[in-house]
Every structure is written in structure tokens, then in C-alpha cells.
Copies of this chain bind each other. A is one copy, B any other.
Amino acid sequence: MSKLPALFTCRCLNRLISPTIFKTTENFIIRCHSSDISVKELIKEAESSMLVNEKPSKPPFAKNLFLGIFDKDVLVYPEVFSIDQLNLLQRKLEPIEKYLKNEVKSLEIEETGNISNEIIKNLKNLSLFGLQIPEKYGGQGLNATEYARICELIGEDSSVSLLLLSHQALGVQSLLCFGTEEQKRKYLPGLASGESYAAFCLSEETSGSDLASIQTKVEKSENDKESNWILNGSKLWVTNANNAHIFTVLALSKSVNQFGEQQLVSVFLVEKDYPGVFVGKPTNIIGLKGVKLSEVEFKNVKLTEANLIGNQSDGFQIAIDILNINRYASGAVTLSLMKKMFKLVVNHVLKRKQFVADLKDYEQIQRLCSEVSLRIYALESMLYMTTGLLDCYKNYDGSMENAIIKAFSMEEGQKCINICLDMMGAQGLIKGEPYEKFYRDFKCSSIFDGTLDFTKLFIASTGLHQAILLHEDIGKNINLLKQLFNNRKQTMDNPSLNLELFLQLHPSLVQSSKKLEYCVLRLEFAVTTLLRRYGEEIFSQQVEILKLSSVVIDIYAMTAVLGRASRAYCTGILNAESEITLAQKYCFDATKRVRQIINNIVSEQDATADFSHSKIAEDIFKHGGYFFEHPLNRNI
């Protein structure tokens, strides 16, 4: 590759070099300006410096959006791998992709209700059971990006991906993050090879995401010398319980200190073979037929300190962390499902005629296909932006990005699957054709780590907490006059743009970057408006905060889409012009959505009108359902 104009090289470098060395970019630009050094050499130099330097740290991007803080660095789509590393990964992916695409028959798994031993053997041979377990315990030690990329392949079959993910994203994770060296050495090698399975025991009859209502409990055994704890209780919906060897169990425990008795949530590792562990009959759900979900009962199971993970009081945090830490993995699986379904549907559209014309020539069909691809592109962009942030920065707090991916993949994934099913017409409803299975598998896989609303409430509540903390901090230093002026422009839905985001992007995306900036400023305005209106009461205003969530999801999607398209264009990726078109359209539509939601939030009139929802619901609950008199009834 030869020399390029300096400006281009600058943009190009912004995108090319890893964010790890982004801080030094300016240096490179200057050198590029003044010397003859080629871009390729520059990159090499940059990347070798990356290997030497330690990872920098970075404040949480998505969380900070609630404060109106936009970290422009992120628009430089993070580059995790050098070309050599990428080639290495590619070689790792090939056999996995080949096996899963060609040998695993999803309809067969569904019919038999079982993943065959043959498949399991091959999954073990492909080393798919210990992807994130460090090499020293026999695993692959993958980083987030590599893990996500492999999850995309695993997503080829929904049951296989459930088997593998429930094992490593939920089952193994607490041990991995919070286990002692001894516990790790004892269990991880078996779990990494797939010799033993781990299962995660969280939900109960009366509790799902709601840890506070757990009934399962451990009690100190006083008279028994062998054990310190006795576990009793029963867990529902335990994925792959019938095959699992090790259960990670959340249970209530008591602790006595100077303030009296205290209820704690603790996490225990329980082996299947311990006396008192019973796996019940599986629950028959509509999808993911190859893996069983069962009840697991614990009757007076004796445990020792060696079974406790972390401290006795850590359970709550461990559960939250585990659910948060790997949400991008389920995003990768959904992405894979969406791509696969869309491929089949486009194939159908290309073959089918209707009313003499080709189906593909109908404007509405074009629109629907475009809508699906916009969403696939956005999810894909967000996924690898997030894993990039996780991999490039030290201890990056990606909890909100993770939740955004989860929420986006549930909400928009559902829309895409509905659109695809509708495009298939009657064929979409035939048993044995692949289409309706996507719906069922998707629905089932989306329930494992919290409902959509729960995830969206988490996103906005976390952001608002961040905002409240900071507002208290900076409250004293506000320039009142400036704020007054800004508020006036904001009230007119016309905030002053001054972030100059376009500087980070290819010039064809200037308009889109302004739209993104508009959305960022409007989110900040909505947050301050709500905090002013409700104070700390905002946390019980679920409907309002769900709206904030939708906005921040769209902002993150816009950021990812713009960064990726700009990188693609500047570095000459194949079909990059199409990426630019798509990014522009995504930002156009997203901005319209954001404008509408924010105007709805700030309008007092809308707030009043929305209050009638509660009034109507109150009536409905009073009557136990829809209660209006039939319209044919008459009185006089």
C-alpha cells in the first residue's frame, strides 16, 4: 500500500490503529504529514507499541451517556486484532463453522429431543466447552471478541448453543470469577474438556430475576462434624440439569453479628452425586428441544466451606455479575439466528412470484428486507464494539453495553423474526419447515437471563444512578446563564451542537453524526427534566425510564453503526458504500424515534394522558379482567 493524502491517512489511522494506541495518534499524523513513511509501516509500528504498552483504562461509555458525556474515541471502532491475530482466529473458526453448518441437523435434534452423543463428542473435539477458561486449566482462554465470534458460529443450532452457553456463561462463570485456586484446580479442567457439565440454579417457584424472594436456604449444622452447612430447597428451569455434574446454587444463609441476625445470599457448588440431590422431570417448553430444563431438589444436602464460592455475603453480587458479564454472548447467538433466518427468507423472496410480478419487486417487501438488515447490522456493530471495549481497556465496565445488546437483541430480534415469518406467508407456519422453529427457539432463549422490561429497567436505572451521583458533584459549578440559554434551545427541540463528532468520521457521515449528537444532547435534557420533575421518585416511574432506555439503546446503536461504517469506508472494506447508506438510514430513523420519545417525555400533556393507563388498569384489576358491557347491551 502506497502513500495516501495526509487527511485521509489521518482518518484512516483513527480507525485502523487499536484504541490502545489511540492516544498517540496525533504523533502519527504529524509524522505521516512530514515524512515518507507508508501507512502499513505506521500501523506495524503502532501495533507493536500496543503489545508493549499496558491496556489503558476508560470510563464506561454507555453509562456516561446519561450525563451527556460522549467519549468520541469510541467512534473509532475498536480494532482488537492485528492481521496476523485475525488470521489465527480465522483458522480456529473454520473447522467449527464447517462442522456446525454441515453436520449438525437442527430438525433432527428437535425431533429426537436430544443432542446425540456423536455431536457432543465432536463439540468436545472442537474444544467448545472451555472457551473462556484459562489455558492453564485446560481451556481456550479466549477474550471477549473471540468468544463472541465463536458464539456466532455456535448459534447455528439453538439447542447446541444453549447447551454450551448454559455450561460456560452461567455454570462455569462463578467458579471462574470468584472461585478459590483450589476450587478452580479441582473443577475447571473437567469442565473445560466437557467431561463434566455445570448448571446454574437460580429461579424458583416465586422468584425469577428477583433474588430477594429466594426460598432455598442453607443452615449451619451444629451436630455434624463432617459438614458445615445443610442445603434445602428446590430450583426450577435448570438448563441441562439432567446431564450436569456440578450445580451452582444460590441460597439464603444466616449470619449473626453484633447487630443481630442477618439474611445473606450465598453461592455454593454442589456436586450431582452428593446425597440429597434430585433432578426432577423436565419442563416441556415450546422451543430449544434438544436441551432439557428441569427442577432440581436439594434435601438436606451436606456442604462444607469448600463448597462456598466467594464470601458468604457475596451471592447477590455474584449473581448480578454473572448475568451481566456475558450478555453479549446471547446477543451473538441471536445475531446468528437472525442472519440464518433472513438468508432463508431472502432466498424465498428471490424465487417467489405474486400477482404476476416478482415478490422482490414489491416496495413493501423491499422495505421489510431493508428493515431486517438494518437491525442485523446494528446488532452486529454493537456486539463487536462492546467486545472491543472489553478487550482493549483495562477492567472496562461494560455492564450497560452488555444489557443494551441483550435488550436490543430481544426487542429488535423479535421484530425481525416476526417480519421474516410474515414474509413467508403460510409457509412460515408449516411444522417441519425451518421458519416457525426460529420463533420458538428465539422466544425460549430470550427468557434465560431476565425479561426485556427487566433488562431495560436495569439500563435506565443504572444510568440514572450515575447521573444523580454526578449531578450532586457538579451542582456547584454550573454556569447558570449558560444553562438557562441551553434549556431554552432544548425546550424548542433545537439543542446547540458542539461535540464535533463528525471529526471522527468519514465526511459522508457528517449529517448522521450531527443527528447522533442531537440525540445525545436530547437524552441529557430528558434526564435532567425527569430528575427535576420526580427527584429520586424517578425510579418508580417505570414507563418514563423505559423510554430513556429505548433512547440510550438507539444512541449506542448509532454510535456503533457510524463507527463501523466509517472504518469500513476509510479502510476500503468490500461493499463499504452500502455500509455508509445503511448507517445514514439507521441514524435518520433512530433520530426520528429519539425525537418522538424525548418530546413525549418532556411534554407535560403526554405525561397526564399516560396517567390514564394506570386508571384504566386499576379498573381492570378491580374487575379481574376486561369488564366493559357488551356494546349490544342496552339499558332503556
Contact = CB atoms under 8 A, between A and B. Distances in A.
Contacts of A618: 366
Contacts of A426: 203, 208, 237, 285, 447
B425 A616 contact: no
A584 B615 CA distance: 12
Given A210-B355, A543-B367, A621-B360, A588 B616 contact: no
Contact of A79 (B354, B457, B612, B634): B634
A627 B575 contact: yes
A580 B385 CA distance: 49
Interface string A377-413: 1001100110000000000000000000000000000
A573 interface: yes
Given A384-B631, A579-B628, A581-B612, A617 B210 contact: no
A531 interface: no
A370 interface: yes
A574 B628 CA distance: 8
Given A573-B635, A632-B86, A206 B373 contact: no
For this chain, the copies found in one complex come to 2
Contact of A425 (B40, B356, B429, B451): B451
A346 B633 contact: no
Interface in A346-369: 346-347, 349-350, 353-356, 360, 362-367, 369
Given A364-B542, A578-B616, A628-B579, A636 B370 contact: no
Contact of A373 (B418, B447, B609, B616): B616
Nearest to A619: B578
A74 interface: no
Interface in A171-187: none
Given A285-B430, A286-B436, A145 B614 contact: no
A25 B448 CA distance: 62
A429 B447 contact: yes
A369 B40 contact: no
Contacts of A363: 540-543, 614
Interface in A308-352: 339, 342-343, 346-347, 349-350
Contacts of A353: 206, 213
Given A355-B210, A564-B631, A350 B626 contact: no
A355 B450 CA distance: 13
Most central of A145, A370, A542, A572 by chain B CB within 10 Å: A370
Given A578-B619, A628-B578, A370 B613 contact: yes
Nearest to A374: B616
Interface string A289-313: 0000000000000000000000000
A425 B623 CA distance: 23
Interface string A443-455: 1100100011100
A431 B284 contact: yes
B425 A444 contact: no
A546 B363 CA distance: 11
Contacts of A167: none
A54 interface: no
A484 B384 CA distance: 54
A610 B447 CA distance: 34
Contacts of A620: 346, 369-370, 373
Contacts of A589: 609
Contacts of A574: 629
Interface residues of A, number: 121
Nearest to A12: B636
A370 B614 contact: yes
Contacts of A52: none
A268 interface: no
A1 interface: yes
Contacts of A564: 631
A634 B627 CA distance: 61
Contacts of A616: 369-370, 373-374, 578, 581-582, 585
Given A366-B618, A432-B284, A620-B370, A83 B612 contact: no
A628 B443 CA distance: 26
A255 interface: no
Interface of A: 1, 16, 39-40, 43, 77, 79-81, 83, 86, 89, 145, 149, 203, 206, 208, 210, 212-213, 237, 283-287, 339, 342-343, 346-347, 349-350, 353-356, 360, 362-367, 369-371, 373-374, 376-377, 380-381, 384-385, 414, 418, 421-422, 425-426, 429-432, 436, 443-444, 447, 451-453, 457, 540-543, 546, 564, 568, 571-576, 578-579, 581-582, 584-585, 588-589, 596, 609-610, 612-621, 623-636
16 contacts: A1-B636, A16-B634, A43-B636, A203-B426, A208-B426, A213-B353, A213-B355, A285-B429, A342-B625, A349-B621, A364-B457, A366-B613, A366-B617, A373-B626, A380-B631, A582-B612
Given A16-B634, A429-B444, 19 more contacts: A16-B636, A212-B356, A285-B430, A286-B429, A342-B626, A346-B620, A346-B621, A363-B543, A367-B542, A369-B617, A371-B613, A373-B620, A422-B452, A568-B631, A572-B635, A572-B636, A573-B629, A574-B629, A585-B609
Closest 4 CB pairs of A and B: A366-B617, A370-B613, A363-B542, A370-B616
